[in-house]
Amino acid sequence: MAKVGVIGAGFVGATAAYAMMLNGTCSEIVLIDRDEARAKAEAADIAHGAPLAKGVRAYAGDYPDLKGAALVVIAAGSNQKPGESRLNLLARNAAILASIVPQIVEVAPDAVVLLVSNPVDIMTSIARALHPTPSLVMGSGTILDSARFRQLIGERAGVNARYVHSYVMGEHGDSSVMCWSSALIAGMPVATFMRERKIPWDDKIMDAIAYDVRNAALSIIAGKHATYYGIGIAVNSLADAIINDRHAVYTASGSCAFDDVCLSLPRLIGRKGILETLMPPLNKDESVALSHSAQVLYDAQEGVLKDGKLICL
């Protein structure tokens, strides 16, 4: 089994570590945070449950403890301050990554680096610019959006969401693209399945599902001030695919053909991170929407990245 490092022991990082411990995804988890007391407390809390689960060793440490790690999850970053511009926020987060990524590379140069911090697509682009082997860097992207999409379609269809196959591509954000044209239940297009079962289905219902996918996090935050269970489980799924070389397919964030932009497409995930990009057939509207999503990300990161290099440090 393998060692995993988690940088950032807040709600998301700690929940991801907890999910990996419960599932026995790795043999060892080291939590790193600039708040050492928080990292120690979260690690101890997780470790106390390990004997009743899979026996994974969890502890707090520092960057040298990442030596030999197969995967390093970055869940650290800065939130936007009142009145702060998006560009200033990105510049501050770029500075945080500029302090983190070289320390990872120094002790674990072959580890896959998984970005979870938002805005995850741009953070992934920044981390790739800082890493000497950009192919080892990926983002969690729309893996959770795709899970939400499947759950909502399954709920409407009366089918367990595990048996719904559908993707959300592009930005993990407002410009995300619901790929209806390739969405399947029992090998049938969703509209066909609904018609066969006489379940109401039209553009209005599809638009409502897309809206709920894009606004799921805001809805959860309104009720409990943060989201962490869903993304924690998503990180565990990616960690399992990487550590155990599953050759699983998830919509992870990585490079695309659009000017140094990282966004989510179906990716084959294994021991070296993203092994291959798998592009499903898209209809005209989806293709246009995906190009628009890439442009949104390009515009958002302008002033931070140019030609694959950071210009804000």
Find the distance separating the first CA and the last CA of the chain, reported in whole Å.
38
Exactly one of 48, 165, 172, 247 is catalytic; which is it?
172
280: preceding bond cis by omega (within 30 degrees) = no
Report the C-alpha gap between 237 and 23 in whole angstroms. Answer: 10
Judge whether 253 and 264 are in contact, CB under 8 Å: yes
225 catalytic? Reply is: no
Instruction: Identify the DSSP state of 74.
Output: E
Report the C-alpha gap between 156 and 213 in whole angstroms. Answer: 14
Sequence-ordered alpha helix ranges (H) in the chain: 11-23, 36-49, 86-107, 120-130, 143-157, 190-196, 203-214, 216-224, 229-243, 284-301
Judge whether 17 and 42 are in contact, CB under 8 Å: yes
Q: Could you tell me the two tokens for 116?
A: 């979870």
Q: Could you tell me the two tokens for 242?
A: 């990487």
260 by Cβ neighbours in 10 Å (0-12 / 13-18 / 19+) ranks as middle
Cite the active site residues.
172
